[in-house]
Amino acid sequence: MSGSSSQRLHDRQRRLLKAKMRHPRLGMVEILVRDVSEQGIGGKCTSDIGTGDQVVIYLADCPPAVGTIVWRNGQAFGVQLDGAIDPAIVKSPPQQDAPVVAHEVPKPFRPTVSTKRPGFDRRRTGPKTGSDWI
């Protein structure tokens, strides 16, 4: 298998994150990064990209990665990078913390009349016993 083109030069680390790729013909394209190694990135995109295209991949918290598309299979593709990157720093961007809001019933669905049972009061004496209800 030494002559096989599918042999990997560097160990891959699985990732699943969105990124952007600048393509010479298509401009900025949304991609899904599936794995990263020191010299390459594997991903998926729906755009019509071809092997040999020079691209720049923008990952969160990383400098832009310049490389060449070396293979394509359907929507999947592989990019061989011109320079090395550290796969450990390639991570999903932090999630935005949404403010927590207490539940409030919308006005159209609020009761229009009192929901208390008429004639029911816990402080009254019980029927015929004279004892207090608890």
Please give the domain boundaries of the chain with CATH numbers for all domains.
Answer: 13-87 (2.40.10.220)
Q: Please tell me the chain's helix, strand, coil percentages from 3-state DSSP, rounded to the nearest 5.
A: 5, 35, 60
Tens digits of pLDDT across the chain (134 residues): 344 445 555 677 787 889 999 999 999 999 999 999 888 999 999 998 989 999 999 988 888 999 999 999 999 999 999 988 888 877 766 666 667 778 888 888 887 777 677 666 666 555 665 555 55
What letter would DSSP give residue 132?
Answer: B
- Among 64, 73, 87, smallest CA distance to 45 is for 73
Q: pLDDT tens for residues 51-71?
A: 999 999 998 888 899 999 999
- Collapsing DSSP to helix, strand or coil, 2 comes out as coil
pTM check: above 0.85: no
Q: Token digits for 86? A: 């550290």
